[in-house]
């Protein structure tokens, strides 16, 4: 094949631009699906009212951990939880640990789990 001289370069460049602009030879990447995630929140109380500083842990099916703690009003909220069935564990000093292995998180949902802890 002879070298491409300036005389042939311009028509070849136009042909290439036309082919690319018409979609010919372009590989289109499919957008990746957005992650299926949700939010879990609630209030943790005891016999005398809200429990501040209770530890909250959510374990999805992939065995990752999402952790947080309650505020002064006993409120907690964890976001970015993968959709599916998760285990919710809440613990605080002086109280029995609460475990619920059957919390269902749906995509883009907000699940409320209010929990009353029992003193030891």
Domain boundaries, the chain: 37-116
- In the numeric block, which tokens belong to residue 107? 């995509």
Supply the pLDDT for residue 6.
Answer: 56
CATH of 37-116, one of 2.60.40.1930, 3.50.50.60, 3.30.470.20, 2.60.40.10: 2.60.40.10
Supply the pLDDT for residue 59.
Answer: 94
Mean pLDDT by 10 residues, the chain (120 residues): 56 55 54 78 97 96 92 97 95 98 93 97
Predicted TM-score of the model (pTM): 0.71
Supply the pLDDT for residue 62.
Answer: 86
Q: Per-residue DSSP letters for 43-94?
A: EEEETTEE-TT-EEEEE-TT---EEEE--TTSEEEEEEEESEEEEEEEE-TT
């Amino acid at each position: 094949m002879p070298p491409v001289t300036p005389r042939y370069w311009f028509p070849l460049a136009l042909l290439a631009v036309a082919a690319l602009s018409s979609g010919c030879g372009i590989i289109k990447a499919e957008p990746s699906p957005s992650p299926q995630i949700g939010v879990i929140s609630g209030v943790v109380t005891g016999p005398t009212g809200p429990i501040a500083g209770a530890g909250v842990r959510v374990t999805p099916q992939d065995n990752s951990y999402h952790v947080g703690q309650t505020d002064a009003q006993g409120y907690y909220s964890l976001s970015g939880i993968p959709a599916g069935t998760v285990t919710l564990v809440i613990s605080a000093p002086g109280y029995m640990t609460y475990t619920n292995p059957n919390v269902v998180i749906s995509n883009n949902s907000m699940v409320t789990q209010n929990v009353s802890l029992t003193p030891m």
